[in-house]
Each structure stands twice: as structure tokens, then as C-alpha cells.
Amino acid sequence: MAKFIAKRLLMMIPIVLGLSFIVLLLLELTPGDPARMMLGTQATPERIAALRDTLGLDDPILVRYINFLGQIIHGDFGTSFMTKRAVFGEMMMRLPYTLILVGISLAVSVACGIPLGVYAATHHNTWKDNGAMFISLFFVSMPVFWFALLLVRFFGVELQWLPLSGIDSWQSWVLPIVATSLGFVATIARQTRSNMLEVIRQDYIVTAKAKGLPNQKVIYRHALKNAMIPVIMVIGNMFGLLIGGALITEVIFGIPGLGQYTIAGLTGRDYPVIQGSVFILSILFSLVILVVDIVFAIVDPRIRSQVGGKKSKKRKVGSQIEKVS
């Protein structure tokens, strides 16, 4: 398992480096000049050229990328063009808010989506199954920003039950979490239902029911355990989608997280902010995928045997020798 984890960690390095270079390349190809935006439309070409030289924007893209990596090695993500503050400090100050939003939203999605999917699968082809899937399809099709605005209008403006923005109390988190997680609840429910329908038709499930085991025990102890293997991958990939949804949610609800910081950087073409945010978010997503792979290896015996590899073969050969002797 240690070699498996080390191999996955090494694979993260080219992925993160590749993403950071692609972001820099896209920024280079996108129209717009950060120096002109900082100085305003009335600035002279001489002042703009001087500022570009100071910021290093005239250097070749490879030189700028190497300088960026050199700064990261020393724990420095540069200074924001707009605020003149250290990017790393700003990101670390805002990152907890984004992790809280994404973490709780993911927990809510899993806690609500899996039971809903099991309920729909165990009532297959009934009005309960059709109703659950209709609700799931409805929320999957709803864009996050549109659903967030509806929540603000109804619960914040009309009923005035919950705050419109900010993070002054726990109530301020309710609408952002609901807006971020509800679509993913539907995604997990549909995936769980599909997997459960395949598993409950297997022979060992029929045998377990024929032996007189309680239906709840058969469903949750035997069927759900095997149906969860593909769902785990969906949950892991969902982390990246939740981060994307959090970028929009933080702006709508005024949460001072990393998403709002990144959007502000994109709007102002603040290169250090954009590069630093993407670098941190790509590391987080890669770590989550690593955790998903480890959980796969623990849950699925086939993957666990591949991870064990040579050790499992040696044990098998050793046991055969002991039997012969």
C-alpha cells in the first residue's frame, strides 16, 4: 500500500505542473493587458510599457513559468497586481471557508443521495421510484447559479428566514450549502439507484433472501456494499465539480472564500492570484482522487490484490510450500 500511495503522489507532480502551465498559456492567449487595467484607460503607452517590464509580463512564457515554479519552491506565490498583498497569505486566509462549503456540501450530498437512490431501487417501477427520479432529474438540470438566486429570492427576500449573504452565523451557511449540494444529491441518487438495480438481481442476493435474512439486512449489508464501489468514484470526481460550483456560490452569497478570490483575479487579470489559486485547487483535487483510490483498494478485493501484487503472490507460494512440506 505504501508503494501504491507513493506512486500516486509522484503522478500528481506532472499533473499539477501541466495544469499550471496550461493556465498560464491560456492567460497569455486571452485578450487583455493587466498593466493597462491597473493604470486605467488614460495611461500613456510609456507608463504601460514600464509597468509591464516591472511585472515581468514582457518575458517569454517559459521564463515566466520557470520563475513561478521557483517562487513556489520557496513558498512564495507572488504578489497580487491589484491588492499588492502576498497571494499565499490571502489564499490560506480564504481557503478554510471554501473547504467548509465544499466539505459540508459533499457530506450532505452523500448523506441524502445514497438513501434516496436505495429507496428508489427497492421500489423499482413504482410511483415512489418515478417520483424520486423526477426530482433528481429536475435538480440535476438546474444550474447552480440559477438555483442559488431562486433560494435568495424566496427564503431571503420574500420570507426573510435566512440571511442573504455573509458568514455572520451558522444560518448564513444554509442557503449556500443547499444551493451547492442539491444537484449533487440527485447525481449520487441516480448512480446509486442504477448500481443497486444491478446488484439486487444477482444470485447471491436472491440466495440471501431465500435463506430468510431480513430485507433491510440484505439491502444494506450485502447489496449496498457492492453497489457503492462505482459510487465512490462518482463522489471523488464530484469534489472538483463542487469546487466549480463553490466559485459561483461564494460570489452570489458573499462568502470570502478562495472561489471569490479567484473570480476577482480573473476579472482583474491578476496573474499571480489566478495561477496560485489554480495550483492550490489542483493539488486539493489530486489529493482527493488519491484518497478515492485508497478507498477503492480497501473496499474492492480485486484492486487490493493488485495493490498487494508481489506480496500476495509470495504469501500464496509460501502457503503452498508449507502444505507440501
- The string of pLDDT tens digits covering residues 281-316 is 888 888 887 887 777 777 666 655 665 554 444 454
Within 10 angstroms of residue 140's Cβ, the number of other Cβ atoms is 15
Q: What percent of the chain has pLDDT over 70?
A: 91
Q: What is the pLDDT of residue 218?
A: 80
Instruction: State the average pLDDT for the chain.
Output: 80
Domain with CATH 1.10.3720.10 in the chain: 87-267
Q: Are 228 and 188 in contact (CB under 8 A)?
A: no
| 295 or 100, greater pLDDT | 100
Closest Cα partner for 257 from 323, 186, 180, 142? 180
Per mean pLDDT, which of 75-84, 188-197, 240-249, 286-295 is the most reliable?
A: 188-197
Q: Are 248 and 144 in contact (CB under 8 A)?
A: yes
Q: What is the pLDDT of residue 323?
A: 45
Task: Tell me: pLDDT of 99 over 80.
Answer: yes
Task: Tell me: pLDDT of 151 over 80.
Answer: yes
Q: Which residue has the cell 517590464?
A: 53
Q: What percent of the chain has pLDDT over 90?
A: 0
Q: What is the pLDDT of residue 324?
A: 42
Q: What is the pLDDT of residue 322?
A: 46
> How far is it, in rounded angstroms, from Cα 22 to Cα 65?
10
User: Any idea of the CA torsion for 114, 120, 121, 125, to the nearest 10 degrees?
Assistant: -170
Within 10 angstroms of residue 314's Cβ, the number of other Cβ atoms is 11
pTM of the model: 0.78
Mean pLDDT computed over 105-125: 86
Residue 269 binned pLDDT confidence (cut-offs 50, 70, 90): confident
Mean pLDDT computed over 75-79: 82
Task: Tell me: pLDDT of 109 over 50.
Answer: yes
Residue 190 binned pLDDT confidence (cut-offs 50, 70, 90): confident
Q: What is the pLDDT of residue 303?
A: 59
User: Any idea of the CA torsion for 297, 298, 300, 306, to the nearest 10 degrees?
Assistant: 40
> How far is it, in rounded angstroms, from Cα 234 to Cα 20?
25
Closest Cα partner for 94 from 276, 235, 242? 276
Residue range 225-236, pLDDT digits in tens: 778 877 877 887
Domain 87-267 indexed as CATH 1.10.3720.10: yes
Task: Tell me: pLDDT of 325 over 60.
Answer: no
Residue 86 three-state SS: strand
Mean pLDDT computed over 31-55: 80
> How far is it, in rounded angstroms, from Cα 296 to Cα 178?
28
Residue 79 three-state SS: strand
Range with the poorest average pLDDT among 133-147, 267-281, 290-304? 290-304
Q: What is the pLDDT of residue 21?
A: 86
Q: What is the pLDDT of residue 312?
A: 46
